[in-house]
Amino acid sequence: MELRMAVRKSFGAFTLKTDFTVSGDKIGVFGVSGSGKSTLVGLLAGLARPEEGEITLDGDCLFSSARGINLPPQRRRVAIVFQQPCLFPHLSVESNLLYGFRRLAPELRTIDFAALVSVLKLEGLLQRGVNNLSGGEKQRVALGRAILANPRLLLMDEPLSALDDSLKFPIIQYLRSASERFGIPYLFISHSLLEVRLMTEQVLAVAGGRIVGQTTPEELARERMGQSQVGYINLLDGELLRKMGGLYVYRWGGVELFVSAGNDNPSALFELSSRDIILFKKHPEAISARNLLKCTVVDTFPSGNKVGVELRCGTQTLVAEVVVQAADDLAIQAQTEIYAVVKASSFRRLV
């Protein structure tokens, strides 16, 4: 998918002005509330009209003020999954799913209904009304409905914001797997850097109605580490080995991690803030923290008034964060050995 968007749109004092080209299938749009993300969605889907400019998708013109082109929403094949599921309350789950599908030209009805229902685990819900579904089920139906419309581009506009954390991260797996399975490229819009990192491969950073950066989610996370209230969030995929003394022991790369917030599932995804990692130049003795990881410094990078330290830990990478003074005192340099200490309670389980 290749998207070019060079438009201007004003609402009162706010003006969105963009000029970017992006290609790929998993694109993120990251920005705080009011930065212009949802305006961008409306312009792309044809729900709002730019004052001037041009929007092209895979070379096809969706809007051009110069050429007098403004395709209506139903002809753009740009579907949206909104923050709220926006299911049609008077229709069953099945009718909701098929709403867009039934409006497609026969040659475009290429998404297999049964396969999609299976991927999204909606088999038992088809004949039900939508009002009694849980938040996660509703969002899965909304996603299925959008995918069945076989869009050229799927816009996910903060689709996880209305969900609790317990539902949010399992849904991410559905969002990714369904889009991958049926080959639907998407633009994932979010104010959560963590969600953007889990969902996308490249990201447009939006602020004040402008695109202020086009980078990878990883780079963006590192850039923002110093100013973020939670630092850099490490994402750790663990495989459960055993339970021991009230703690769960996971294999992460070649390393064992002791975690309080585990569960009995064979695998889990944890987040760990760079601020919860304490670095020692030498092997510390008699510590209460349950995780002592011997690492190699790969690189350091400045971020605000902090220094990020990229560590090689077994086969995995971990980012820790120290103040500039600490980095100087410890003389942290690439290729040197260092010990990272993490409390078992510092890990937060996402899935």
Partner 1 sequence: MLLLTQADYEAIRLSVKVALAATALSLPFGFAFAYLMTFFKFRGKVLLEVVVNLPLTLPPVVIGYLLLIALGKNGWLGPLLEALGLRLIFTWKAAVLASAVVGFPLLVRSIRLAMEGIDYQLIQASRTLGARAVDTLFTVILPLSLRGILAGSSLMFARSLGEFGATIIAAGNIPGVTQTIPLAIYEYASSPSSEKAALSLCVVAVALSVLVLLFHEFLAQKLARRD
Of residues 149-168, those binding partner 1 (CB under 8 A):
149
Closer Cβ to partner 1, 145 or 306, answer by number:
145
Taking the complex as a whole, how short is the minimal distance between the CB of residue 226 and partner 1, in angstroms? 37
CA distances from 300 to 84, 306, 332, 336, 348 (A): 41, 10, 8, 11, 25
Closest CA to 235 of 345, 350, 312: 350
For residues 241 and 256, what is the distance between their CA atoms, to the nearest angstrom?
9
When asked if residue 99 is in the footprint of partner 1 (CB under 8 A), the reply is yes
Least separation, in Å, of the C-beta of 53 and partner 1?
20
Single residue of 12, 59, 68, 89 touching partner 1 by CB under 8 A: 89
76 touches partner 1 (CB under 8 A): yes
Please tell me whether residue 131 binds partner 1 under the rule CB under 8 A: yes
Q: Quick check: helix, strand or coil at residue 159?
A: coil
Q: Does 266 bind partner 1 (CB under 8 A)?
A: no
Helix (H, G, I), strand (E, B) or coil at 317: strand
- Asked whether 80 and 152 are in contact (CB, 8 A), the reply is no
What is the gyration radius of the CA atoms in the chain, in angstroms? 23
Q: Which of residues 79, 198, 330, 332 is near partner 1 by CB under 8 A?
A: 79
Among 88, 201, 283, 284, binds partner 1 (CB under 8 A): 88
Is residue 135 a contact point for partner 1 (CB under 8 A)? no
Helices (H) and strands (E) in the chain, counts: 9, 21
Q: What is the DSSP letter of 108?
A: G
Binding of partner 1 by 80 (CB under 8 A): yes
Residue with tokens 């209305």: 162
Interface size with partner 1, residues (CB under 8 A): 26
DSSP state of 284: -
Interacting residue with partner 1 among 30, 82, 186, 347 (CB under 8 A): 82
Q: Per CB under 8 A, does 343 bind partner 1?
A: no
Residues 196 and 231: beta-carbon distance below 8 Å: no
Q: Per CB under 8 A, does 11 bind partner 1?
A: no
Q: Which chain residues interact with partner 1 by CB under 8 A? A: 45-47, 72-74, 76-80, 82, 84, 86, 88-90, 99-100, 103-104, 129, 131, 145-146, 149
